[in-house]
Amino acid sequence: MAGTQSEQSRPVRPQQVGRPRRDQQALLDAAAAVFVTSGVDAPVREIAVKAGVGVGTIYRHFPTRPELVVAVYRHQVEACADAGPRLIAESATPEAALRAWVALFVEFLVTKHGLAGALHGDSAGSDALHTYFVGRLVPVCDSLLMAALQSSGTTHPIDAYNVLKGIGNLCIGAASDPKYDAATLVQLLISGLLAPVAR
């Protein structure tokens, strides 16, 4: 009973609801930013400095580099997917929403550069991530593309999967060649998609 009384007299600490998740999101944001500038092999110390935490904190959340890379990849996919509906609601036109989302997608492609190497040839893991990527982002791209096409009064025989695939092909080499302006080329692709089809 004494033990029970002692436990009852202890001050109850308020639970920090959502705090660990927010901390993890901050780590992933920092890691994504570092991966863009330094690649997926960047020292964990650099990520820790960017996030304002100790190296041990990163290892506590992500014990291995492949786990961190995959988590960043999924985090970026989710951020890109979530941005679609928000941009449709906030942008002046459907075309502006599509162009803004495509710009985010290009950033994402650069961020995940080197993912396959970081997974050390884990083809099963890479395949699972590709399936996840397609399942999350193709529907978002489709809704943005259809809205922009309807708004411009044009139709196009290409689908969202091929649009994303084309953007991906235009982004190849962007991370390794500072003179290569993939973002501008991708926007030109969007202009072509939205232009009236010649009969």
147-153-158-160 Cα dihedral, nearest 10 degrees: -10
Is residue 94 a contact partner of residue 104, using CB atoms and an 8 Å limit? no
The residue ranking higher by pLDDT, 63 or 5, is 63
Q: Per-residue pLDDT averaged across 170-174, rounded?
A: 86
pLDDT of residue 1: 43
Assign 32 a pLDDT band (cuts: 50, 70, 90).
confident
Nearest residue to 155 (alpha-carbon basis) of 143, 168, 145: 145
Q: Per-residue pLDDT averaged across 181-198, rounded?
A: 90
CA distances from 142 to 29, 86, 124 (A): 26, 15, 27
- Per residue in 102-135, pLDDT (tens digit) is 999 998 887 665 655 565 556 666 778 888 989 9
pLDDT of residue 23: 79
Phi, psi of 61 (to 5 degrees): -80, -40
* 3-state secondary structure at position 113: coil
Domain 19-63 is of which CATH architecture?
Orthogonal Bundle (1.10)
Structural domain spans, the chain: 19-63, 64-199
Q: Per-residue pLDDT averaged across 135-147, rounded?
A: 96
Is the domain spanning 64-199 CATH 1.10.3720.10? The answer is no
Of the candidate ranges 17-21, 160-164, 176-180, 183-187, the one whose mean pLDDT is the lowest:
17-21
Q: How far apart are CA 24 and CA 129, in angstroms?
A: 20
| CA 93 to mean position of chain CA atoms | 23
Q: Per-residue pLDDT averaged across 8-18, rounded?
A: 43
Q: Per-residue pLDDT averaged across 183-194, rounded?
A: 94
The residue ranking higher by pLDDT, 116 or 90, is 90
- On the question of pLDDT at 48 being above 60, the answer is yes
User: What is the average pLDDT value for the chain, to the nearest integer?
Assistant: 83
Assign 167 a pLDDT band (cuts: 50, 70, 90).
very high
Note the pTM of the prediction, 2 decimals.
0.76
> Any idea which residue has 């304002």 for tokens?
52
